[in-house]
């Protein structure tokens, strides 16, 4: 059976579902963390290992996707995603659970890298941000449903069935991609296989555009990851919310995220990337400041934390599509590598910040909500610096280069 050739229309339908495999593997899992800790003795390690493996595996996966193509790497990743989820559902110990979740993180790396690289394969650079915004809107819909669904599954059936849900989702995706996702990478016969791997990485990091957009994505994701990692402990352990009630809080943030990614597309058409990112930066820092004020003045209230998270999620919905698409825009020939190194940087920042912040969570919750709030405050500050100091210089440099190229073309003709 010959797979269907991927087209922009068909891929536009698959992209949100492929990107949503990540919140299905993380957001639906959040409410299960306390139950896993009670049964196996450790919980956050399995989520951390997923993120660590997800980040590290993107480096070899990106190179592999550039060499052998997107389709075979994507299908293998989806199959491994399913197997790891089922193995996690049967895990008898915290160590084994962490191990299979690490394998699932590697599989997720293949899914994400191939999905994002295919965006650059199928669409020109100026459309990439709009396409990613539309795809991340679909991701937000799944992220809206996943925490609530996961919370009810944990409460009524047990945490192991959350992993079964992930496996079912992976099987559906695998069947859809087998029939509908064709190879999107256009072979480059001029490339030398041996030199492409080394020169390609140097070329990726030499790009000013790659560096600034990757730092933007890493900053906003680092703040959100600290929420994902620590909010169950803050809301359930420290503030005493029921798991099913807590499940609505990340869903609330996802609803805001959906609206923000939808608005991002319109803002990009109307304002362009710089003004759009600056608006997102003001939303991000405002959300972090609201949370900090609440943790200081109303330490036992969930409302300031929720309000601040809403504002931060608005900014996140702007920064993610812009950052993810912008990092690849100038590197169409090396889309797989650019995506992989951008994703690795995001996960590395999230892992390091999350590990540092989690050290301040103890059984008495003596630091209150501050371990979750401070990283989001730092992320908001970094985003403001990028949006108002670094990004304008990079965009001005790009515009100058484009003008010089246009002048040379006019002279040659």
Q: What is the DSSP string of 394-406?
A: HHHHHHHHHHHHH
- Cα–Cα distance, 266 to 276 (Å, whole number): 10
**CA-to-CA separations, 78 to 119, 171, 184, 215, in angstroms, rounded:** 18, 8, 17, 28
Residue 3, token pair as written in the block: 């797979």
Sign of CA dihedral 74, 65, 26, 251: negative
Q: What is the DSSP letter of 191?
A: S
Cβ atoms of 380 and 282 within 8 Å: the answer is: no
What pLDDT does residue 6 have?
A: 53
What pLDDT does residue 194 have?
A: 45
Cβ atoms of 222 and 340 within 8 Å: the answer is: no
**Tokens 């989806």 found at:** 78
Q: What is the pLDDT along the chain (413 residues), one digit of tens a residue?
A: 344 455 544 777 889 899 989 888 887 877 777 788 778 876 677 877 887 888 889 999 988 988 888 899 999 999 999 999 999 898 888 888 889 999 999 999 999 999 988 888 888 776 788 888 888 888 888 877 887 788 888 878 888 888 999 999 999 999 999 988 888 887 665 544 444 444 578 888 999 999 999 999 999 999 998 998 899 889 988 999 987 788 788 778 888 988 999 999 899 989 999 999 999 999 999 999 999 999 999 999 999 999 999 999 999 999 999 998 888 888 877 888 888 899 889 888 988 898 899 889 888 888 999 999 999 999 999 999 999 999 999 999 888 877 777 777 777 76
**Tokens 């945490």 found at:** 159
- Cα–Cα distance, 363 to 113 (Å, whole number): 38
What pLDDT does residue 8 have?
A: 47
- Cα–Cα distance, 351 to 44 (Å, whole number): 12
Cβ atoms of 395 and 274 within 8 Å: the answer is: yes
Cβ atoms of 174 and 78 within 8 Å: the answer is: yes
What pLDDT does residue 199 have?
A: 54
Q: What sections of 190-247 are H helices per DSSP? A: 193-206, 208-231, 243-246
Question: What CATH number should be reported for the domain whose range is 12-182+197-406?
Answer: 1.20.1250.20
Tell me which residue of 72, 22, 117 sits closest to 338, measured CA to CA: 117
């Amino acid at each position: 059976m010959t797979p269907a050739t991927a087209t922009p229309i068909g891929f536009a339908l698959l992209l949100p579902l492929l990107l949503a495999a990540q919140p299905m593997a993380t957001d639906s899992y959040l409410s299960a963390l306390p139950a896993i800790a009670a049964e196996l003795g450790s919980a956050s390690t399995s989520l951390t290992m997923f993120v660590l493996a997800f980040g590290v595996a993107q480096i070899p996966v990106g190179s592999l996707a550039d060499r052998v193509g997107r389709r075979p790497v994507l299908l293998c990743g989806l199959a491994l995603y399913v197997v790891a989820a089922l193995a996690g559902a049967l895990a008898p110990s915290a160590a084994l659970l962490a191990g299979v979740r690490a394998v699932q993180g590697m599989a997720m790396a293949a899914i994400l890298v191939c999905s994002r690289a295919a965006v650059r394969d199928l669409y020109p650079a100026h459309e990439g941000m709009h396409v990613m915004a539309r795809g991340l809107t679909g991701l937000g819909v799944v992220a809206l449903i996943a925490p609530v669904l996961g919370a009810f599954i944990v409460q009524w059936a047990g945490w192991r069935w959350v992993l079964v849900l992930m496996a079912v989702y992976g099987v559906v995706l695998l069947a859809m991609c087998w029939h509908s996702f064709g190879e999107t990478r256009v072979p480059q016969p001029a490339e030398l296989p041996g030199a492409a791997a080394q020169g390609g990485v140097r070329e990726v990091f030499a790009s000013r555009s790659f560096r600034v957009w990757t730092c933007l994505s890493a900053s906003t994701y680092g703040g959100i990851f600290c929420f994902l990692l620590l909010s169950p402990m803050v809301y359930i352990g420290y503030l005493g919310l029921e798991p099913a009630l807590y499940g609505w809080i990340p869903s609330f943030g996802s609803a805001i995220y959906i609206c923000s990614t939808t608005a991002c597309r319109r803002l990009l058409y109307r304002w362009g990337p710089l003004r759009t990112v600056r608006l997102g930066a003001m939303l991000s820092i405002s959300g972090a400041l609201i949370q900090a004020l609440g943790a200081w003045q109303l330490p036992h209230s969930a409302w300031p934390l929720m309000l601040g998270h809403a504002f931060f999620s608005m900014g996140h919905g702007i920064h993610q599509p812009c950052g993810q698409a912008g990092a690849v825009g100038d590197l169409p020939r090396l889309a797989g590598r650019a995506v992989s190194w951008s994703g690795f940087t995001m996960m590395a920042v999230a892992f390091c910040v999350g590990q540092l912040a989690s050290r301040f969570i103890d059984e008495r919750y003596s630091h209150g909500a501050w371990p979750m709030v401070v990283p989001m405050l730092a992320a908001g500050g970094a985003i403001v610096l990028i949006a108002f100091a670094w990004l304008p210089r990079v965009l001005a440099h790009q515009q100058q280069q484009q003008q010089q190229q246009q002048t040379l073309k006019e002279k040659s003709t």
